[in-house]
Amino acid sequence: MQKITREQLIDKAVSLLSDGTVECVLGWEKGQFDYDITPAVFNDENELRENFVWNDFCGANFSKYLVSKTRKCNGKMLVFLKPCDTYSFNQLLTEHRFDREKVYAVGIPCEGMADIDKIKAACGDGIISIDASGDKLNVHTLYSDEPISVSAESVFAERCMNCKSKKHVAYDELLGEDGDVIESHRFDEVAEIEAMTPDERFAFWQNELSRCIRCNACRDACPACTCEKCVFDNPNSGVENKAAANSFEEKMFHIIRAFHVAGRCTDCGECSRVCPQHIPLHLLNRKFIKDINSFYGDYQAGAEVGTRAPLVDYTTDDLEPGEVFERGGDNA
Amino acid sequence: MQRIGVFVCWCGSNIAGTVDVQAVSDALKNEPGVVFSTNYQYMCSQAGQDIIKQAIAEHKLTGIVVCSCSPRMHEATFRKTAAAAGLNPYMVEIANIREQCSWVHKDMPIGTEKAIILGKAAVAKVNLNTPLTPGETPVTKRALVIGGGIAGIQTALDIADAGFPVDIVEKKPTIGGKMAQLDKTFPTLDCAACILTPKMVDVAQNDKIRIFSYSEVTDVKGFVGNFDVTIKKHARYVKEDVCTGCGLCTEKCPQKKVPNEFNLGMDNRRAIYIPFAQAVPKVATIDPNYCTMLKTGKCGVCSKVCTAGAIDYKQKDEFIEEKYGAIVVATGYNPISMDKFDEFAYSQSKDVITSLEFERLTNAAGPTAGKLLRPSDGKHPHTIVFVQCVGSRCDSCAQKGKEYCSKICCMYTAKHAMLTRDKYPDTDVYVFYIDVRTPGKNFDEFYRRAVEEYDVHYVKGMVGKVTPEGDKLKVQASDLLTNKQMHIDADLVVLAAAIEPDKSARPLATMLTASMDTNDFFTEAHPKLRPVESPTAGVFLSGTCQGPKDIPETVSQAGAAASKVIGLLAKDKLTGNPCVAHSDEWMCNGCSSCERVCPYGAITYEDKEFRMPDRTTAIRRIAVVNPAVCQGCGACTVACPSGAMDLRGFASSQIMAEVDAICK
Amino acid sequence: MQINEYKPLIVAFCCNWCSYAGADLAGNNRLNYPADVKIIRVPCSCRVNPMFVLRAFQRGADGVIICGCHPGDCHYTSGNYFTRRRMALLFSMLDYLGIERERTRVEWVSAAEGAKFAATMNDFTEKVAALGENKRLEDLRCKR
Amino acid sequence: MRKCSLEKLDSVFAEIANSFKLYLPVDDKDGKAKYSEWAEGVKWSNALNTVRSPKDFFFPQTEDLMGFKCSGKNIEIIDTRNESEDFVVFGVRACDVKSFDILDRVFLKDPVDSYYSNRRDHGIIISVACTRPAETCFCHTFGIDPTEPAGDISVWKTDSEVFWQSNTEKGAALLEKLQALTEECDADAVNDQKEKVSAIMKKLPLAGLTADKFGAGKTKELFDAPEWDSLSEACLGCGTCTFICPTCQCYDIKDFNTGKGVVRFRCWDSCMYSEFTKMSAGQPRLTQKERFRQRFMHKLVYYPENNDGLFSCVGCGRCLAKCPISMNIVKVMKTIGGKENE
């Protein structure tokens, strides 16, 4: 259960709206059920009181919306940012993707977001409502008379299981208490794949990436993918395609996408969250992050504004491309 | 669709010997876009070029592929040919079927097959070529010469002579460089000072030339025709324009124990000093490392004795910013350190000296007033051993010394030996050598005189060890011709130390973005055809910064560099390289990735209002490339996540078309 | 096709200033290397987009090698330093996806190293040939 | 109607697989169902439905249409079409079966899409009645009864038995082959289950959803509805909804230059994409709002207009589960369709 309440957020938004600090509010709107929450722009108190929601399903990272939304907004826009969202926020600022002056960022603590698919796997279909109490989620379904209780932690989204930081790295105002950067085990899975033989690695990724339907959800949700025109939509780029015709194109899309965000990816996990085919896309991005950390020193994209991303930087004694394998493990 | 002409060159038998040129031109005839294809013995010849010109006119060609030697060889030639026939020169692509094909593959079918593929790749590229027009930039009509040795002096004089202003930046308090330290010069044996100092005076008196002595270049921005240079003038604590150079201060200064670098530390100077009598500018300089006044605030003798009132203890380093159209590097050389050559006992005995030290010992203005006396005891040496190639022509595995030949040692050693024998016929002179290299006008004659007329003992072989024993130096050597060990009790051993580029060259090269070889000599734009130009446009090379040279060579290269500079400065406008980066403003995210990888600072950003595809208006930050500054490396094109940045002449689509053609 | 007839296809991206000149020198000195190597001239190794590498594999290349000036000697001062990082990460990613390591290489070849160029190409071709055809990054539509 | 015991189901599958390629929903390692080919040991998924719809069987995501072989300056046209083999798709839910009708009206209408019709002719659909509809189900809105699925053969599964009912000649012929493994039974045997499920259907959160406000002739009324702005506000413009949708049928035709020739292929396209139906004069729908509106207007207004009032949504609920920002057709119908829909 989230420590900060929906009412606290609404009150904050209403006060900022009424004192003229902000013109509108970027927040979460309730859906049909308790889990299908949509990002929305709220313009007044009525809209907020009626439709604003804050619960364990508010996973969407708003940072990316700021690129397009601030262009349309004349005054300031209030945005609520969870700790992991603030990294994307900073990274976008580093890349001059929106005007900081047009945003009023309110940092809000996050206790971890739930993955509805994990809940469905645990409780079955037919979920009518979900309510949180303490560290439990009580799930009411069509097919069981009693609510099914699951621990929130057991149904955390992948990125929340491996949460890297409860600390906000950017905000104008903070609600609740700030946390710390966390020593996570987020690279363990990458290390497991690295430890496989090349044949196993190939088979692993072949299986994962073959499910890709090129819906582009990973790209479109990614806060690092804010290109005015994506190379995959650009007929002149030479790699444009609407659907992968074969396994090469499946791989190419994901390699190039991961490479494009390498050094800029904050590991917010949106790609894996939105993938309708459950491809563990974060494992591609994390591979780059892990490599960057080990080759060039620890680097967390978005930790600060204005840092030089590792791929637009160098030192004269960087390791040679041929040496990466010596470091990466012995599975030739 | 292009109308492409393909021209396959035989290069005599160079290509035709291993590539079936007829088959190549036949095969390429069928490639998309190709409307004409032929082959000829020498495409680069006038007749060959005429074939191209004629085909352009006859077949209304819009693009050309020449299958020939490396584009590094004749791309420029064929571009000119195309231009002469009215075709944009950037519509020409070369398929390198000589260096990369006929010369490395011996089998005719294999060579032919590869030549066809390389030709197809070039055709694929030309299909996507677009006519390019170079941009124009104005030229600042002023040159900068970095280094005030004989190379810099000559370059500056020649440029000034053509009427262009020149600045010389010299890090020492005076110009003159190494030549000012020399005694006589080979092979004519005229006195170095006698021929150099008049030139120094010419420099001082030339109103087109400014000298920034005791100064160094700290920053270079800009590009050919438009360099912005920052020069740091070190505080010399003497007002240059007030000092008369009378030298009184240098006599009265109580700090007498300063090693005199002009005499290579073989005697002392004062804390305030003028390096030598003919220094230009003839102005005193206070050495802040030794001056009591500057260190403790107590003394002030020089200030008291200076009637002109030129002393200024509060002087600060000064930074001067100036614009230049061309920069000449003349940073010169130094003998290498003898630290790694302990077998010659250089650090153990004062009587083991380098050749440059020997020059000072024999120089009338030197520490011994020209008398050849041993540094240790001031006695006249009777047996002198000269060791050549100390640190030159070393095995790369030995981890010491240089692989290259220092070039000047053979001649100056012969000079030293001859002069010694001439002045002091009672001395025995031995020269140990690996080879004696005397290619040069009157060089061999000079060497033979040393051997034949002056009875210098030339011994082919290397000195193994020098051991100081009493007041003698035991020299252990081998004579390779007689295959015998030799033991000589010498009074003086002179080491012909290898020469290396000055240490200031490497950081300067970085500032200039000029390339260097692994020995830190500046690389020339072409080793044979452009020996005085650096690959970086607008940067020229003069003297030993480019490689070991003697004085006549240095002076001729200095003149050559000057003529290149004059050629550049004589232009009012420069046409640039059109193969530069450009950003598609619709795709640009303004993320700054490109700016961060650009080594030239060619990319800036501006906010621009856009009518967006969704009919809204937005102010977007977009990258703008300065085509005059961009050198066309392409780093930005890969850093750009959206692919907004592309490179003219090497567009992503062109490179991918080449990949496709090669792989099909 | 018999196995001993298998000829790999190698795409070599060479920077104009060092490696392309190195290849020219190999030619000047008549130093043989396999005709399977096809060179594409780029102004600097930093012009090589990872996309080009993938493109080559897609189109049927069995190995891709990128040659540039030695670090510190880049004609454009710093281009090859960026190449070094980009390709280190790209190659590591390809390895992570199970693509054979020997199919990709970066080699620094100066204009003076004609012999090194030829030796590098001989060695690289041999290693790629030993792997056989590129199956893991192939696009069947483009097969020879 | 015929039946067999649940234990015998694998033998039935084996029998079908003897003559046909048989596909059925199978759980992957993450427990998500997808259509896979049956082989010994492959288990039918218990999931309500597959993540991707079965439209791939007839309208695959990418498919080559024709080829061009280029040598020199000559171009030779190659017909890449092959006659499809007969195949059986087992386990299709009522909603997805209905989606084939919707696709048929597009692809089998003159001019007939021979690629689609070829597969359609050779495919046999065995549908399965639903027993545990999910909260996202709203097939009833479009008049689909999940207890009476259509298809060549309809199947009802109970705790111990599987009931088979053929609806077409193709179905009957197949069922004929399964004579030995099945036995005749009374059609009333599944009534109990049907009633139970019908009762559950009434309790579904979306039970009251109707499409009354939509349909043929509603273009003028709905096109400029102000709600489209807020509905499309958060849309990322990804293609998830269209690609998992069983009825989305838009495709793009593209040429791929292989170096030796050209492959002309088609692939799914999404009206959510900025490049959708881009022409030389540009895109007809410049904003995400217009693209978003297009998708729902097509399903709920334009398609019915051209197809006797038939909506091109089957209420399978996939988009409700998969949209990254949880915007979907139900929210659109409720918002545009007015409060009475809630």
Q: Specify if B663 maps to a domain.
A: no
pLDDT at A332: 44
C-beta separation of A189 from A169 below 8 A: no
CATH code: domain of residue B55: 3.40.50
C41 contact B CB<8A:
yes
Calpha distance B621→B582 (Å, rounded): 15
Calpha distance A43→A24 (Å, rounded): 5
Instruction: Please give the residue range of the domain that contains residue B70.
Output: 4-126
Calpha distance A262→A282 (Å, rounded): 12
pLDDT in tens, C41-87: 999 999 999 999 999 999 999 999 999 999 988 888 789 999 999 99
**Domain match, B365 and B487 both:** yes
Listed residue (D182, D101, D158) closest to D174, CA to CA: D182
DSSP 8-state symbol, A117: H
**Domain match, B204 and B269 both:** no
Calpha distance D338→D333 (Å, rounded): 8
Q: Which residues of chain B neighbour A236 with C-beta distances below 8 Å?
A: 653
Calpha distance A207→A203 (Å, rounded): 6
Q: Specify if A181 maps to a domain.
A: no
As a whole number, mean pLDDT of residues A169-184 equals 93
Does B113 sit within 8 Å of C24, measured CB to CB?
A: no
Instruction: Please give the residue range of the domain that contains residue C41.
Output: 7-142
Residue D41 neighbours by CB under 8 Å, 6+ apart: none
Q: Specify if A1 maps to a domain.
A: no
Does A237 sit within 8 Å of B652, measured CB to CB?
A: yes
Sign of CA dihedral A197, A198, A199, A204: positive
- Give the predicted TM-score (pTM) of the model: 0.79
pLDDT at D340: 54
Which two structure tokens, joined as six digits, stand for B265? 């530390």
Q: At C42, is the secondary structure helix, strand, or coil?
A: strand
Instruction: Share the mean pLDDT of chain C.
Output: 92
B617 contact D CB<8A:
no
Q: Specify if A182 maps to a domain.
A: no
**Domain match, B89 and B23 both:** yes
Q: Specify if B278 maps to a domain.
A: yes
Calpha distance D276→D291 (Å, rounded): 9
Q: Specify if A312 maps to a domain.
A: yes
Q: Specify if C108 maps to a domain.
A: yes
pLDDT band at A330 (very low <50, low <70, confident <90, very high): very low
Does A124 sit within 8 Å of D206, measured CB to CB?
A: no
Calpha distance A316→C15 (Å, rounded): 19
Mind telling me how many Å the CA of C142 is from chain A's nearest CA? 11
Calpha distance B456→B413 (Å, rounded): 11
Which of the residue ranges A211-220, A231-240, B37-46, B263-272 would you say has the lowest mean pLDDT?
A: A231-240
C-alpha dist (Å) from residue B247 to A115, B169, B259, B273: 88, 24, 18, 8
Instruction: Please give the residue range of the domain that contains residue A142.
Output: 116-152
> CA B203, B205, B206 angle in degrees (round to 5)?
65
Residue of A nearest to D53 (CA): A213
**Domain match, B26 and B174 both:** no
Q: What are residue D89's DSSP bridge partners?
A: D23, D125
CATH code: domain of residue C130: 3.40.50
C93 contact A CB<8A:
yes
**Domain match, A202 and A292 both:** yes
D263 contact C CB<8A:
yes
Which two structure tokens, joined as six digits, stand for B589? 């995210």
Q: At B104, is the secondary structure helix, strand, or coil?
A: coil
Q: Specify if C1 maps to a domain.
A: no
Domains in chain D: boundaries: 2-203, 219-341
C-alpha dist (Å) from residue B49 to A169, B26, B61, B93, B552: 66, 20, 14, 15, 40
Place of tokens 């096109």: D223
C-beta separation of A50 from A10 below 8 A: no
**Domain match, A92 and A147 both:** no
Instruction: Share the mean pLDDT of chain D.
Output: 94
Per-residue pLDDT for C123 more than 50?
yes
Give the number of domains in chain A. 3
C-alpha dist (Å) from residue B11 to B54, B74, B103, C22, D309: 20, 12, 11, 21, 76
Q: Which residues of chain C neighbour A208 with C-beta distances below 8 Å?
A: none
As a whole number, mean pLDDT of residues A219-230 equals 94
Mind telling me how many Å the CA of B27 is from chain D's nearest CA? 8
pLDDT at B78: 97
Please give the share of chain B, as a percent, with pLDDT higher than 90: 87
Q: Specify if A275 maps to a domain.
A: yes
**Domain match, B342 and B481 both:** yes
Listed residue (A116, C11, A177) closest to B659, CA to CA: C11
Q: Specify if A70 maps to a domain.
A: yes
C-alpha dist (Å) from residue A152 to A36, A54, A142, A159, B216: 17, 15, 21, 14, 68
C-beta separation of D17 from D190 below 8 A: no
CB proximity under 8 Å: B 609-638 to A: 612, 616, 618, 620-621
Does C43 sit within 8 Å of B650, measured CB to CB?
A: yes
**Domain match, B412 and B485 both:** yes
**Segment (H or E) for B305:** helix B301-305
D233 contact A CB<8A:
yes
Calpha distance B82→B49 (Å, rounded): 9
Q: At B106, is the secondary structure helix, strand, or coil?
A: coil
Sign of CA dihedral A91, A97, A102, A108: negative
**Domain match, B390 and B477 both:** yes
**Domain match, B321 and B346 both:** no
Q: Specify if C61 maps to a domain.
A: yes
Calpha distance B39→D208 (Å, rounded): 81
Per-residue pLDDT for A64 more than 50?
yes
Q: Which residues of chain B have pLDDT under 70?
A: 396-398
pLDDT at C4: 55
Q: Which residues of chain D have pLDDT under 70?
A: 338-342
Q: Specify if B18 maps to a domain.
A: yes
Instruction: Specify burial of residue D217 (Cβ count, 10 A radius: 0-12, 13-18, 19+).
Output: exposed
pLDDT at B600: 76
Q: Specify if B526 maps to a domain.
A: no
Q: What are residue B319's DSSP bridge partners?
A: B232
pLDDT band at C1 (very low <50, low <70, confident <90, very high): very low
Predicted-complex ipTM score = 0.94
pLDDT at A327: 59
**Domain match, B424 and B450 both:** yes
Q: Specify if A288 maps to a domain.
A: yes
Q: At C137, is the secondary structure helix, strand, or coil?
A: coil
Buried b (16+ CB within 10 A) or exposed e, B229-239: bebbbbbbbbe
Residue type, D116: Y
Which two structure tokens, joined as six digits, stand for B613? 């595809």
